[in-house]
C-alpha cells in the first residue's frame, strides 16, 4: 500500500484528528485571526494537551453516506487503537513508533512510521495548533467553536474541520475534506478521559521489523 493509498484508507475509515495537509497545488493561506479567535484555537490546543488517556465510542459517516462505528483508546504520547465493529474489518493501532492498519477479513496489514502519518500531531506530547497548523477559519455559533485548518507539512491536499463544545470543553466532532471535496465525519460519544488503559491494546505485530512500506 503506497502512502497515498494509506491516506485514502485512513481518511475513508477514520480520519482520527488527522491534520491533513495542502500540497503545492493547494497552497495553505492562513486566516487573519482576532485575539478572540486565537484564544479559541489555543483553548483547543490546551484540551489536547490536557489528555493523557482517552477512550470511548465513535460513529463515522463516509463521503458516500456509509455509517461505521466502533471503539477507540488513546494513550499519549504516541499510542492509539481504533477498532471498527463488523462488518467493517479494519483495525488501526499505533504503538508509539509504528502505525499498523490491519484488514482482519483478509488477514492483511500495512505498517508505517508514526512520524510519517497524519496521526503524528494529535498523538504528540505537546500540541500547538497556532504554530503546527495553518488556521483557515474560526467560527463560533451556538456554543460550538469550529476551526478549519491544514497541516504545515503539506503531505496531501485537503483540510480538517474540528468542532469543539465550549460548555463541555471537549472535542465533539471532526470532518476531513480531501482535495476533491469528499467529506468524512467522525462523532465521539461515551468519552472517558483519564481512565487507566491497558498497554497491551497498543502492541503491534510487524511483518518485518527491519522494513516498512515507506522505507522501500
For residue 31, what is the domain's CATH number?
2.50.20.10
Note whether 149 and 1 are within 8 A (CB).
no
On whether residue 184 sits in a domain, the answer given is yes
DSSP state of 21: B
Q: Is residue 215 part of a domain?
A: no
Specify which residues 148 forms β-bridges with: 137, 161
- Domain limits for position 181: 3-193
DSSP 3-state of 72: strand
Query: Is residue 9 helix, strand or coil?
Result: helix
Q: Which residue has the cell 496531501?
A: 156
What value does the mean pLDDT take over residues 9-35? 50
pLDDT of residue 38: 94
State the pLDDT at residue 21.
Answer: 30
Q: Would residue 202 count as lying in a domain?
A: no
pLDDT for position 4? 45
Mean pLDDT of the chain: 80
Asked if the structure places residue 64 within a domain, the reply is yes
Q: Which strands make up the sheet holding 67-75, listed edge to edge?
A: 108-113, 98-103, 90-95, 79-84, 67-75, 53-61, 183-193, 170-178, 158-165, 144-151, 133-141
**37-62 average pLDDT score:** 91
Length of the chain: 216
Question: Do residues 213 and 1 make contact, with C-beta atoms less than 8 angstroms apart?
Answer: yes
Number of domains composing the chain: 1
Contact 17, 174 (CB under 8 A): yes
108-124 tens-digit pLDDT: 888 888 887 767 767 88
Residue 200 placed within a domain:
no
pLDDT of residue 76 exceeding 70, the answer is yes
Question: Does 208 reside within a domain?
Answer: no
Q: Is 94 exposed, middle or buried (0-12, 13-18, 19+ CB in 10 A)?
A: buried
The whole model's pTM is what? Answer: 0.75
Q: Is residue 205 part of a domain?
A: no
Tell me, yes or no, whether 88 lies in a domain. Answer: yes
Amino acid at each position: 500500500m503506497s502512502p497515498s493509498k494509506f491516506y485514502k484508507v485512513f481518511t475513508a475509515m477514520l480520519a482520527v484528528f488527522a491534520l491533513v495537509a495542502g500540497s503545492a497545488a493547494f497552497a495553505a493561506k492562513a486566516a487573519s485571526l482576532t485575539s478572540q479567535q486565537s484564544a479559541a484555537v489555543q483553548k483547543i490546543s490546551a484540551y489536547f494537551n490536557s489528555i493523557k488517556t482517552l477512550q470511548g465510542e465513535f460513529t463515522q459517516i463516509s463521503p458516500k453516506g456509509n455509517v461505521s462505528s466502533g471503539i477507540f483508546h488513546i494513550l499519549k504520547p504516541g499510542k492509539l487503537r481504533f477498532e471498527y465493529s463488523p462488518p467493517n474489518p479494519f483495525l488501526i493501532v499505533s504503538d508509539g513508533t509504528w502505525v499498523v492498519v490491519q484488514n482482519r477479513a483478509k488477514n492483511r496489514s500495512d505498517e508505517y512510521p508514526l512520524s510519517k502519518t497524519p496521526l503524528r500531531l494529535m498523538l504528540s506530547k505537546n500540541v500547538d495548533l497556532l504554530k503546527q497548523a495553518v488556521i483557515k477559519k474560526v467560527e463560533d455559533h451556538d456554543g460550538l467553536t469550529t476551526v478549519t485548518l491544514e497541516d504545515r507539512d503539506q503531505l496531501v491536499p485537503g483540510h480538517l474541520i474540528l468542532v469543539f463544545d465550549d460548555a463541555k470543553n471537549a472535542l465533539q466532532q471532526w470532518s476531513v475534506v480531501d482535495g476533491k471535496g469528499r467529506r468524512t465525519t467522525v462523532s465521539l460519544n461515551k468519552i472517558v478521559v483519564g481512565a487507566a488503559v491497558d498497554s497491551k491494546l497498543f502492541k503491534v505485530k510487524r511483518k518485518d521489523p527491519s522494513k516498512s512500506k515507506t522505507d522501500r
